[in-house]
């Protein structure tokens, strides 16, 4: 084993998705001769190379290439599960989550962004459930996932009573067209502001964004209207 580790230092493990050898360190090496199970066995007094000189198990120069190749392939195979654990097989990856406060229109929403890392069956959907800051049933929404879509943006219905530094839960489910669950993402979203920084009503109305007469006195001075109280 020590001999294998020393030899592996001369040949670092392949990357997780290595390209086929093209004149590189494996080019020209034949695998036609099997490696003896005795080759590379550590002697009682190993030398710097890991095999004692004169040992009956010492490998000739030609077989050392096979031993080095075996150690390289073994380490590369051992590295593959770690790569799979790191990347995973989840189609969706959470990339962002915030509360959006629109001061001009006086509303707040959750916003969550996802990257699609793997293909999903045509007709799959994303169902999101957002904790209601005002209490009551969660707020839900549904989005279809398209084949060429790489990014997904989920914006909740309008919310009220958001409090700063309080985490609110969000659950996202990716489902097949037949309803079978493909993936579940659970997270929380925390605001740095209380929602009462927003005006009680929109500052503008209509398609031309005219000033809201309920919010401006004589069309000029902004009227401060206390927003509804929240117990949560």
How many whole angstroms separate alpha carbon 182 and alpha carbon 88?
A: 13
Residues 99 and 163 in one domain: yes
Q: Are residues 194 and 105 in the same domain?
A: yes
Pick from 143, 133, 141: nearest CA to 167: 133
In a domain, 101, yes or no: yes
Q: What CATH number should be reported for the domain holding residue 166?
A: 2.60.40.10
Residues 70 and 146 in one domain: no
Q: Domain end: 87, 113, 132, which one? A: 87
Domain-embedded: residue 231 = no
Given a contact cutoff of 8 angstroms between Cβ atoms, the answer to whether 111 and 168 are in contact is no
The answer to whether position 138 is within a domain reads: yes
Could you tell me the CA-to-CA distances from 37 to 5, 40, 59 in Å, in that order? 16, 8, 11
Same domain, 117 and 193: yes
Which domain-ending residue is among 87, 105, 139? Answer: 87
Same domain flag for 44 and 112: no
pLDDT in tens, 159-204: 999 999 999 999 999 999 999 999 999 999 999 999 988 988 999 9
Least confident of 30-34, 116-120, 180-184: 30-34
Does 212 reside within a domain?
Answer: no
- Look up tokens 């150690």; give the residue: 71
Same domain assignment for residues 78 and 104:
no
Whether residue 186 sits in one domain with residue 100: yes
Does 230 fall in a domain? no
160 token code pair:
């009220």
How far apart CA 206 and CA 177 sit, in angstroms, is 39
User: Residue 7: which H helix or E strand, with range?
Assistant: helix 2-10
95 alpha carbon, distance to own chain's centre: 7
Q: How many domains does the chain have?
A: 2
Its sign, for the CA torsion 199, 200, 203, 205, is: positive
Q: How many Cβ atoms sit within 10 Å of the Cβ of residue 205?
A: 15
Q: Are residues 49 and 134 in the same domain?
A: no
pLDDT at 24: 44
Residues 16 and 79 in one domain: yes
Structural domain span for residue 13 = 2-87
Within a domain: residue 48? yes
pLDDT for position 221: 77
Judgement on whether residues 109 and 21 belong to the same structural domain of the protein:
no
pLDDT score at 160: 93
- Residue 76 maps to a domain: yes
Where among 55, 87, 119 does a domain terminate? Answer: 87
What is the overall mean pLDDT for the chain?
74
| pTM, two decimal places | 0.60
pLDDT tops 80 at residue 118: yes
Q: Half-sphere exposure of residue 211, counting CA atoms within 13 Å on the CB side? A: 11
**Mean pLDDT over residues 100-120, rounded?**
95
Note the pLDDT of residue 228.
67
The contacts of residue 78 (CB under 8 Å, 6+ apart) are 13
Q: List the beta bridge partners of residue 210.
A: 205
Asked if 49 and 39 touch (Cβ cutoff 8 Å), the reply is no
> Is residue 215 in some structural domain?
no
**How far is the C-alpha of 213 from the C-alpha of 16, rounded, in Å?**
63
Cα angle vertex 84, ends 78, 88, to 5°? 165
CB 170 within 8 A of CB 188: yes
Quote the pLDDT of residue 224.
75
Does 68 share its domain with 103?
no
Band of residue 13 on the pLDDT scale cut at 50, 70, 90: low
The pLDDT value recorded for residue 210 is: 92
The verdict on 76 and 147 lying in the same domain is no
Q: What is the pLDDT of residues 34-68, one digit of tens each?
A: 433 443 334 344 444 444 444 444 445 555 545 55
């Amino acid at each position: 084993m020590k001999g294998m580790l020393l030899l592996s230092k001369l040949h670092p493990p392949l990357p997780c998705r290595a390209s086929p050898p093209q004149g590189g360190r494996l080019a020209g090496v034949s695998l036609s001769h099997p490696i003896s199970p005795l080759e590379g066995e550590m002697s009682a007094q190993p030398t710097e190379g890991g095999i004692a000189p004169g040992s009956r198990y010492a490998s000739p120069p030609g077989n050392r290439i096979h031993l080095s190749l075996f150690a390289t392939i073994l380490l590369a195979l051992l590295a593959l599960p770690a790569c799979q654990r790191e990347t995973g097989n989840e189609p969706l990856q959470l990339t962002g989550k915030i509360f959006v406060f629109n001061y001009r229109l006086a509303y707040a929403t959750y916003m969550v962004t996802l990257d699609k890392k793997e293909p999903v069956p045509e007709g799959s959907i994303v169902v999101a459930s957002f904790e209601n800051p005002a209490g009551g049933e969660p707020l839900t929404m549904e989005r279809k996932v398209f084949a060429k879509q790489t990014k997904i943006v989920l914006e909740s219905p309008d919310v009220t009573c958001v409090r700063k530094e309080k985490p609110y839960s969000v659950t996202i489910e990716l489902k097949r067209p037949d309803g079978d669950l493909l993936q579940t993402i659970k997270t929380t979203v925390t605001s740095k502001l209380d929602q009462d920084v927003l005006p009680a009503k929109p500052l503008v109305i209509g398609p031309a964004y005219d000033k809201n007469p309920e919010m401006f006195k004589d069309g000029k001075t902004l009227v401060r209207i206390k927003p509804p109280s929240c117990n949560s």
